[in-house]
Amino acid sequence: MRTTIRIDDELLKEAKTIAVASGQTLAEVVDEALRDSFARRRQAAKKPYLHLRSFKGDGVQPGVDLYDSAGLLDIMDRADAAS
């Protein structure tokens, strides 16, 4: 299918460089990049949600973000210093 899209100048320059280096057309490089991107999105969507259970108390303490490893280390360091 033929269509017109706007592409960032730097991305287009990189895509053209890859096309020349790999012996592919620009369209083939763009198709491959889109397929790879869509496949990663599908794979990420399939990852199961992780439900963490606590066995004592009411769950995670206020202010604790389990996705912030630096913050968790700070909290643990303060707990060690208080002991």
DSSP secondary structure code for residue 81 in this structure: H
Separation between Cα atoms, residue 21 and residue 56, nearest integer Å: 59
Per-residue pLDDT of the chain (83 residues; tens, 9 = 90+): 888 999 999 999 999 999 999 999 999 999 999 999 999 998 887 777 777 776 777 777 777 888 888 888 888 888 888 87
Every domain of the chain and the residues it spans? 9-46
pTM of structure: 0.54
